[in-house]
Structure 1
Amino acid sequence: MDYESLIERETERLAGLSGDLTVPVPTCPGWTTADLITHVGRLHRWTVHLLRNRVQEPLWSRQAPVELPEGGADPGWLRDGAAELVRVLRETDPAMEMWTWGPDRRASWWARRMAYELVVHRVDAELALGLDPVVPAEVAVDGVEELLHNLPSATWVTRPLAELGVEGATIHLHATDTATDTTTTATATDSEAEAEAGSGEWTITQGPAGRIDWARGHAKGDVAVRGPVADLLLLVYGRRSPDTLTVFGDRDLLTRWLAAASL
């Protein structure tokens, strides 16, 4: 997938939704659209700093020298930051070794991560305006796998998952609008998990210390969720309620797992 082009498209869509920067964003409690724009723009500039300086040690977004706009964020500031990010990504060797908070220590990790930051926050802005978000199926499939690939590295997620006491529990996601392929598998620790997106079915197994493993393909789980793949993406990001999808099995497990796994 061309993540740089996806960043460009999603930035333009988000910028086009930010006419009134005072609109509350329910899926990001306490935020307005201005806060959403500031957050995304800060992430873009942070990533540019990381890439340009080939940062090798942890440096989080609020530690980076990011200059915020005078008078608050605006769509133009968002577009400028995204354009710079895309330019730097295209100029950078995707295989360049550097720090990431995920399992891959390559520059290419940041292109994929920033693309889905934008997809999800564009959805946040649309939901705030009462719009029905649309995410293309191929983007949603890859987005689910990007999230599953990175969750084991997110300590702010693994800690609450460990506290659930559900080691060995399984959650099956079944997209109803993609082809089914039961032959390809991947684990969350596979550094090449992003190389080939699955076909719309995944089983998540809760492992020790809050970590997860996952596999592509059809299988039974303690709880199973069926629905359009875009809705499954929004479900695992906490932007869609399980009540809007078809759930079989242990609904309480699903509800508790989703609350703890929020990225």
Structure 2
Amino acid sequence: MTLLAHERYCDEIAHQVGLLRSVVTSGADLSATVPTCPDWSLEQLVRHTGGALRWVELLVRTRAQENVAEEQVPSHGGPEAQGDPAALDAWLAETGEAVVAALREAGPDTRVWGWAGGGDARFWARRMTHEITVHRADAALTAGLSYDVAPEVAADALDEWLYLVGWVQRNLPHRASDELRAEEHRGRSIHLHATDAPPGLDAEWLVELTEQGIAWDRGHEKATVALRGPLTSVLLAFYHRLPLDSPELEVVGERELLEFWLAKTSFG
């Protein structure tokens, strides 16, 4: 699995923070429920995302070798004022500048505590890139705004999602991951096919269900079920952000397997 360059992740975090700020200042209703995260309002989603970035900034800046509680992170929860887009925007701007600066200064190989096998600043640069990329989709959908993402970032987000699902299966077993390993599903597979990938970008994946957990790689192979569509749409569908019956998506084969996968996969 080839990762993007550390500086590319840093650039993308800065870019995505800017785009998320534009949602905050667009006149969107901050109290609106996020359709894809219905337990949150738009403001709560933004505070969650900014809080995650601030937590990582502290981890990286202090070279933490163990987890740090959220309560130890300065301004983790955001500005005191509720429903104030200007205050939320200023907090988010400061947050983005701080985390990107910390990641750039550390460089990719600096040792930092991490989960899912991560133990360096590179892990956190990648994780935060996709944390904010996907939550920015949540924000854009809530505000009724358009959403897109650079193809190489979308492809890497799918790689990371599959890596994390596999890591959870191997290291944090629970009922859902056990069901994915169940005997009746072994040997079945899922193919993801982006129909608009630019030249030179391999944007097809094969995910196989095995006794040991999922196995996956990029490439074109026949599978039990295939999900086809624009890369951004495939990403959002696989991240549970876009319904499978969306007009831009096509499901070929055993749809039930894809629905089962989506119901059982998570970070934990």
1:255 corresponding residue in structure 2: 259
- Once residues 192 and 199 of structure 2 are traced to their aligned partners in structure 1, the CA distance between those partners, rounded to angstroms, is 12
- 2:185 paired with 1:176: no
Shift of 1:238: 0.5
- Name which of 3, 13, 17 aligns with 1:7: 13
- Once residues 71 and 211 of structure 2 are traced to their aligned partners in structure 1, the CA distance between those partners, rounded to angstroms, is 31
- Once residues 186 and 110 of structure 2 are traced to their aligned partners in structure 1, the CA distance between those partners, rounded to angstroms, is 36
Shift of 1:66: 3.9
- Once residues 172 and 127 of structure 1 are traced to their aligned partners in structure 2, the CA distance between those partners, rounded to angstroms, is 26
Q: Which moved more, 1:139-148 or 1:70-79?
A: 70-79
- 2:59 paired with 1:56: no
Shift of 1:102: 2.2
1:161 corresponding residue in structure 2: 177
Shift of 1:180: 7.8
Q: For residues 101-140 of structure 1, what are the structure 2 equivalents within 5 Å? A: 101-140=115-154
Shift of 1:141: 1.3
2:90 corresponding residue in structure 1: 76
1:195 corresponding residue in structure 2: none
Structure 1 spans left out of the alignment, 5+ residues: 182-197
Q: Secondary structure at the match of 1:29?
A: strand
Q: For residues 159-238 of structure 1, what are the structure 2 equivalents within 5 Å? A: 159=174, 160-164=176-180, 165=182, 166-178=185-197, 199-208=202-211, 211-238=213-240
> Contact 2:151 / 2:198 at 8 angstroms: preserved in 1?
no
Amino acid at match of 1:125: A
TM-score by length of 1: 0.85
Q: Deviations over 1:94-145 (max 9, x none)?
A: 1112221223322111111101111111110111122332122222112211
Root-mean-square deviation over aligned CA pairs = 2.2
> Contact 1:25 / 1:128 at 8 angstroms: preserved in 2?
yes
Amino acid at match of 2:193: H
Q: Secondary structure at the match of 1:30?
A: strand
Shift of 1:243: 1.3
> Contact 1:157 / 1:261 at 8 angstroms: preserved in 2?
no
> Contact 1:98 / 1:107 at 8 angstroms: preserved in 2?
yes
Shift of 1:49: 1.4
- Once residues 210 and 125 of structure 2 are traced to their aligned partners in structure 1, the CA distance between those partners, rounded to angstroms, is 28
- Structure 1 residue ranges, 4+ long, deviating more than 4 angstroms after superposition: 155-158
- Once residues 80 and 129 of structure 1 are traced to their aligned partners in structure 2, the CA distance between those partners, rounded to angstroms, is 23
Distance 1:114 1:102, change over 3 A: same
TM-score by length of 2: 0.83
> Contact 1:151 / 1:158 at 8 angstroms: preserved in 2?
no
